[in-house]
């Protein structure tokens, strides 16, 4: 089998590494428009990887297409993959681009093409955590996602802008629009991240989660930020972020009930976001190639994987989930 990984950044390169390690594919084509990124990748990935210095949406001769390219390039790549009837996995964390990709749902259905949207740290792992938490409740009324950290330069740029853009959450049967950087809330994340001030931001988690769970009355997403982050979000990013990003975390809180008794469930993961995103994307890709996912249309991880099994597989890749119950306990 052959996989095409579009984007040789912090996430794409790690996806290629994990797929090769699992022996799920015989060959990987790694494509990027940056010769520098491809040069670095070719030195570390070995002879089972063919690097291509081509536009992202060029020819896609592969059994699976994995889109891990920067913001603004993913939509065209997904359009091309769907038109060629190639199974596709999209990391996708930018809000506006995620909405545009979801608009291709009709085409994916008509062509019978499996497309999984949102397979990163958040959205991605956040969606699987939500599905797991929801399985512990008889009724789920609210879902609240929070995130801290970025997976590399492209991801950092998306998050930098998210604080200055309009936030969209779901609240009582309509979209709740608020200014990014508003709604300060102190929230717990797994150690070593700990408590962080979080704010509304233009994140795509509510869009994907409402698409998966339309019966839930409230869905929100916030991002950890400092005062400096909120102020500089309205200006261009002047200093480039670290290639890999630092340690990050996600937190998913579900509010609902069991046997008529109100319950809150808080799940969390702390990890380098690029590594976690690559693990989720690689595992999703393996599921599709091994036909463990029966999919012929566009969907999200929250609906197509058995969450306990998926999280158990991630544990083997050192991605551990914690439940906060005053004292944290590991799932």
Residue 226: the pLDDT is 82
pLDDT at 115: 97
DSSP assignment string, 271-285 = E-HHHHHHHHHHHHH
If you write DSSP's letter for every residue of 231-270 in order, what string do you get?
HHTTS---SPPPSS---EEEEEEEEEEETTEEEEEEEEEE
The residue ranges of the chain whose pLDDT is under 50 are 326-331
**Does 2-120+277-308 match 125-273+320-330 in CATH topology?**
no
CATH superfamily ID and name for 125-273+320-330: Dihydrodipicolinate Reductase; domain 2 (3.30.360.10)
Sequence ranges of the domains in the chain: 2-120+277-308, 125-273+320-330
CA-nearest of 273, 267, 242, 245 to 255 is 267
Is the bond preceding residue 192 a cis peptide, omega within 30 degrees?
Answer: yes
Distances (CA, A) of 264 to 47, 138, 223, 284: 49, 12, 20, 28
Contact 125, 315 (CB under 8 A): no
The Cα–Cα gap between 240 and 156 comes to 9
For domain 2-120+277-308, the CATH superfamily is: NAD(P)-binding Rossmann-like Domain (3.40.50.720)
**Alpha helix segments (H runs only) across 290-325:** 301-304, 307-315
pLDDT of the residue at 200: 95
Count CB atoms within 10 A of the CB of residue 109: 14
Number of neighbouring beta carbons within 10 Å of residue 211? 19
* Residue 221: its H or E element: strand 218-224
- Predicted local confidence at residue 211, as pLDDT: 95
């Amino acid at each position: 089998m052959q996989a095409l990984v579009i984007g040789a950044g912090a996430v794409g390169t790690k996806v290629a590494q994990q797929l090769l390690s699992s022996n799920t594919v015989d060959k990987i084509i790694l494509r990027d428009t940056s010769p520098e990124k491809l040069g670095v990748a070719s030195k570390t990935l070995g002879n089972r990887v063919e690097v291509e210095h081509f536009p992202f949406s060029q020819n896609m001769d592969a059994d699976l297409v994995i889109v891990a390219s920067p913001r603004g390039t993913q939509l065209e790549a997904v359009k091309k993959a769907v038109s060629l009837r190639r199974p596709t996995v999209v990391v996708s964390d930018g809000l506006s681009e995620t909405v545009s990709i979801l608009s291709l749902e009709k085409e994916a259905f008509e062509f019978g093409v499996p497309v999984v949207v949102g397979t990163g740290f958040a959205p991605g792992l956040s969606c699987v955590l939500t599905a797991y938490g929801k399985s512990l409740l008889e009724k789920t009324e609210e879902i609240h996602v929070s995130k801290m950290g970025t997976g590399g330069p492209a991801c950092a740029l998306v998050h930098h802008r998210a604080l200055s853009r309009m936030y969209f959450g779901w609240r009582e049967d309509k979209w709740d629009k608020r200014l990014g950087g508003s709604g300060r809330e102190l929230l717990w994340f797994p150690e070593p991240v700990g408590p962080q001030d979080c704010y509304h931001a233009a994140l795509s988690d509510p869009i994907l989660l409402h698409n998966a769970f339309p019966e839930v009355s409230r869905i929100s997403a916030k991002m950890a930020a400092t005062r400096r982050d909120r102020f500089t979000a309205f200006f261009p990013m002047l200093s480039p972020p670290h290639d890999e990003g630092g340690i990050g975390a996600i937190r998913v809180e579900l509010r609902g009930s069991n046997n008529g008794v109100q319950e809150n469930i808080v799940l969390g993961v702390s990890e380098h976001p690029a590594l976690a995103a690559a693990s989720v994307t690689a595992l999703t890709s393996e599921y599709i190639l091994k036909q463990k996912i029966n999919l012929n249309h566009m969907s999200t991880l929250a609906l197509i994987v058995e969450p306990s099994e998926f999280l158990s597989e991630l544990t083997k890749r050192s991605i551990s989930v914690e439940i906060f119950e005053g004292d944290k306990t590991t799932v």
